[in-house]
Amino acid sequence: RVWGYIDTSNHLLLPTVLKQSYDFIVVGGGNTGLAVASRLSEDKHKTVLVIEAGTSQVTNAGVSIPAEAGSTFLSDIDWAFYTAPQKKANNRSVYWPRGKMLGGSSGLNFLAWTRPNEADMTSIVNMAGTGASSWSWKHMLSYFKKSESYTSPTANNQGVKRVDVPSVHGHAKVGVSASYPPYLSSQFVGFFKGLRELRVEVDQDLSDGQGEGVSYSASSMDPITRSRETSDTAYIVPIVAGRTNLVVLTSAQATKLTWASKKSGSNVVASGVNFVATAKNHTTLHVTAKAEVILSAGSIQTPQLLELSGVGDPSILNPLGISTVVNLPGVGANLQDHPGVVVVEKLKPAYQSLDNLSGVPLATAVGEYALGQGLLTQELSVLAYLTGSSFLTKAEQAEALALSKTPNAALPKKQQAQMIANLAAGSPVVEFLSINVYFGESASGATNESYISLASCIQHSFSRGSIHISTADPLTAPTIDPSYLQHPFDMFILSKAAQFMRKVAQKTSLSKFISGEAEPGTGVQSECEWEEYVRESIRTEYHPIGTASMMPRAEKGVVDPRLTVYGTSNVRVADLSILPLHVSTHPQSLAYAIGEKAAAMILADHQDC
């Protein structure tokens, strides 16, 4: 047998990779997929193959240095999707980056390390239906801990005392390092203080399931080297040398599942996966799965692969010449995002951001980073998750509640009722975050200016979109339509939230750091002008979910609570596409916990084979 990392350009080993059989094939070596593969391969009697379209990036400084996050956008490790023109957002197509590498989007993200609210997990249980109780916060906490290798915060150069709740954290030998950057920009401290002056509570720890308030967040980062932790560095690099039952195949883009001629009862049986070897003239190749195929290609490409394989809505598949294997209209439906808008403020010259970093300041930052210190160790840091009562007036809260009840043909009534209950149970509706660089509408800010960007991102959008293929060509991106601003609640919240960010910048301690507003600028004052700003600038917080939802089949669900795709006997989905309702958090930690739980369920189901 051959094992370990193998690229399809490896002419010597590829034929053996193809000849070998595998109990489990994991499609997508991203955030969730590598956690699944690592845990499955702990059983020495099971053989595991990962098929990943991208390649290893362990030596890429654009990935490993925390403050470099964003520098790899639009490069060859970014799928660089764009949405369909958004009708309610002035027909704009919005850029959606996704990681194309081992590690997937864990190698492209901004490292924020937080967990969902307990109420969010209760909503997931309620939507997923019978047999879903093990998705509750209480049960999932063991998987959150199992996936985490946590280091508590210490003081830093601003003298800020950061606090946490140690009992909710894990110290796994193989798991994601989560730690706090030693550096803290003074303007971030100003943002934190500003929110406190507006009576926002402090959240002790954004990982304790009770998240509401402002906090200094942890990052997915090694506590000593201060390099980014991806699912590759956390789950595969430390174990791969001894795992003779694991192959991680890169430059391999899956194009469809293949099906066995015999069914298992009324369910179809996957026999393997076709893929193109992107490092080998795009030749189409095939690998066989003895037990299961696990789809971990993410919220955009998992539904794409299901549809290419004949699993989906016949009215979408058949006109493209794809025969229906399983009639499952929920595939690609129920898309939810965390859409956001950004207010950009110029900093006074005394304050350092990541803008225009060159010359001596850059050399200093690089030198400090080599010692695990300084500006480059810091990514997102101050995050605030707020319910309406923390930033809306009483009248606005009443208006928001009334708007949340507005029917939406694309939003099932059961989901809408659950979302309203979830907000009432205290799940924050908006995340506010400060970004240490220009993050506005142009490619970059002005030369010789420094900025702090203040983003407001809605966590529970009442709009529903979809992701569907529009061609049978597997190498063409699917059509992504998040239907931004489809529901009036979303517009109301985003407009008020952006106005709140201006207030923090102008009326609190943060104002001491600021020389003026760059975007939207003083021309935007009235409610109508703010709403137009939202239409003109709405973008993604990069958190799409829901396109293979864990819900009953009759309610357009795609997977059951054990993550098996309805109508199949041996295809599961393990990534963020399974979430039926969105959660109020940065979701990478939940993706890891889903991976841990998926692996535990799969191994439990195959104890005897």
How far apart are the C-alpha atoms of 30 and 7, rounded to whole Å? 16
Residues 6+ apart with CB under 8 A from 271: 258, 259, 260, 288, 289
Q: Quick one: 247 or 392, whose CB is closer to ligand FAD?
A: 247
Handedness of CA 180, 588, 293, 481 (dihedral sign): negative
Place of tokens 């942890």: 218
Q: Quick one: 252 or 505, whose CB is closer to ligand FAD?
A: 252
Query: Which two tokens mark 376?
Result: 């480059």
Q: Quick one: 253 or 584, whose CB is closer to ligand FAD?
A: 253
Least separation in angstroms between CB 8 and ligand FAD: 11
User: Do the bridges between strand 246-250 and strand 4-7 make them parallel or antiparallel, or are there none, so unpaired?
Assistant: parallel
Least separation in angstroms between CB 339 and ligand FAD: 14
54, β-bridge pairs: none
Q: How many CA atoms lie within 13 A of 153 on its CB side?
A: 25
> Could you give phi then psi for residue 534, rounded to 5 degrees?
-65, -45
Residue 99 DSSP one-character state: B
The burial class, CB within 10 Å (0-12 / 13-18 / 19+), for 91 is exposed
* Cβ atoms of 595 and 294 closer than 8 Å: no
Binding site for ligand FAD (CB under 6 A): 27-33, 51-54, 97-100, 104-106, 108-112, 253-254, 296-299, 301, 305, 380, 542-543, 575-576, 586-588, 591
> Could you give phi then psi for residue 79, rounded to 5 degrees?
-65, -25
Q: How many CB atoms lie within 10 A of CB 398?
A: 12
Q: Quick one: 96 or 566, whose CB is closer to ligand FAD?
A: 96
Residues 6+ apart with CB under 8 A from 587: 116, 543, 545, 576
Angle at which helices 488-507 and 527-537 cross, to 10°: 110
CA angle at residue 595 from 589 to 597, to 5 degrees? 105
Query: Which two tokens mark 364?
Result: 């200093």
Residue 14 DSSP one-character state: H
Write out the binding residues for FAD.
587-588
Query: Which two tokens mark 94?
Result: 């919005």
Q: Quick one: 436 or 495, whose CB is closer to ligand FAD?
A: 436
CA distances 192 to 197, 209, 217, 425, Å, are 9, 21, 11, 25
Q: Quick one: 490 or 541, whose CB is closer to ligand FAD?
A: 541
Least separation in angstroms between CB 275 and ligand FAD: 6
Q: Quick one: 49 or 504, whose CB is closer to ligand FAD?
A: 49
Q: Quick one: 473 or 529, whose CB is closer to ligand FAD?
A: 473
259, β-bridge pairs: 270
Q: Quick one: 297 or 534, whose CB is closer to ligand FAD?
A: 297
Residues serving a catalytic function are 543, 586
How far apart are the C-alpha atoms of 187 and 509, rounded to whole Å? 9
Residues 6+ apart with CB under 8 A from 419: 123, 404, 460, 462, 581
State which residue has the least CB distance to ligand FAD. Answer: 30
Least separation in angstroms between CB 436 and ligand FAD: 13
* Cβ atoms of 343 and 517 closer than 8 Å: yes
Q: Quick one: 140 or 297, whose CB is closer to ligand FAD?
A: 297
* Cβ atoms of 23 and 47 closer than 8 Å: yes
Least separation in angstroms between CB 97 and ligand FAD: 5
Amino acid, res. 434: S
Least separation in angstroms between CB 234 and ligand FAD: 12
Query: Which two tokens mark 110?
Result: 């901004």
Write out the binding residues.
587-588
Query: Which two tokens mark 530?
Result: 């703010």
Query: Which two tokens mark 294?
Result: 């696990």
Least separation in angstroms between CB 501 and ligand FAD: 18
Least separation in angstroms between CB 411 and ligand FAD: 22
Q: SS3 for 175?
A: coil
Least separation in angstroms between CB 509 and ligand FAD: 25
Counting DSSP H helices and E strands in the chain, the numbers are 15, 25
Least separation in angstroms between CB 296 and ligand FAD: 6
Place of tokens 């750091």: 513
Residues 6+ apart with CB under 8 A from 293: 24, 25, 27, 257, 270, 272, 273, 570, 571, 572
